Structure formats: C-alpha cells, structure tokens
C-alpha cells in the first residue's frame, strides 16, 4: 500500500473546494509525497455531465485527486506532467478502481489537464 495515511478533508464554505485537515502521505520507492494540512483541492475536476461514471468524490479517486492536485501545483519533486498523470492512474488502481475507471481518469487528465499544470 503506497498511501500511508488517508484523506481527512474539510469543505471550504461557499466554494467548491476542500482543505486537507491531516497530512496525506503517499510513498513509493520512486516518489514520496506529503500533502500538508491546509492544502486546498477541488478533488477530481470531473465535469458534472460525467459524475454518473466518475463522481468527483468517489472512494477510488479522493486520495489520488488530492496528490494529483498537489503535483500539478508544483509542490513536489515530480517535474513532468506525464509522470503526475501516471501516478494518478496508479493511485486510482491501488484504491481498487476497475481498469476502465483508472484509464478513463488518466485519459481525461491527459486531454483536459494541460491548462492546470503548474497553475498555467
């Protein structure tokens, strides 16, 4: 298991975002990520039209989405967008998502995530 802790988040009133309330730790031999308390995330940026397939707060995507947002914000040693997206896919798989799901999530961020990379 690469997640050493799991998400504890608090909704930010009047916004579609959440703040991390306890450090979220993801560890592999290649990358170590600790998302600190206070980091703000919108979880998965899934368009409402697709929530029937991939809800933005689904149990398979909450933790992976938080670390993905953190990587996209440039807060880690991950320097390539493709690597951040690969880690998202692997983390969804680890959380028990079926193959169609983690590949769909990966494809969606590859297609639509470019403008969010490093806040650009």
**Tens digits of residue pLDDT in 33-43:** 999 999 999 88
* Residue of higher predicted confidence among 31 and 45: 31
CA-based angle 50:114:103, to the nearest 5? 45
Q: Is the pLDDT of residue 48 over 90?
A: no
Q: Is the pLDDT of residue 120 over 70?
A: no
Query: In 3-state terms, the chain is what percent helix, strand and coil (to 5)?
Result: 40, 15, 45
Average pLDDT over residues 62-77: 93
- Which H, E and C letters describe 71-102, residue by residue? HHCCCCCCCCHHHHHHHHHHHHHHCCCCHHHH
Average pLDDT over residues 36-57: 81
**pLDDT tens digits, residue range 5-44?**
999 999 999 888 999 999 999 998 889 999 999 999 988 8
């Amino acid at each position: 298991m690469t997640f050493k802790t799991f998400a504890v988040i608090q909704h930010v009133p009047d916004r579609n975002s959440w703040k991390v309330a306890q450090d979220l730790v993801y560890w592999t031999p290649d990358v170590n990520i600790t998302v600190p308390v206070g980091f703000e995330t919108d979880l998965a940026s899934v368009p409402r039209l697709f929530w029937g397939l991939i809800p933005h707060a689904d149990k398979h995507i909450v933790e992976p989405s938080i670390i993905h947002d953190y990587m996209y914000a440039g807060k880690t040693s991950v320097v390539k967008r493709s690597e951040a997206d690969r880690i998202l896919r692997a983390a969804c798989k680890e959380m028990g998502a079926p193959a169609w799901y983690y590949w769909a999530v990966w494809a969606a961020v590859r297609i639509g995530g470019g403008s969010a990379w490093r806040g650009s």
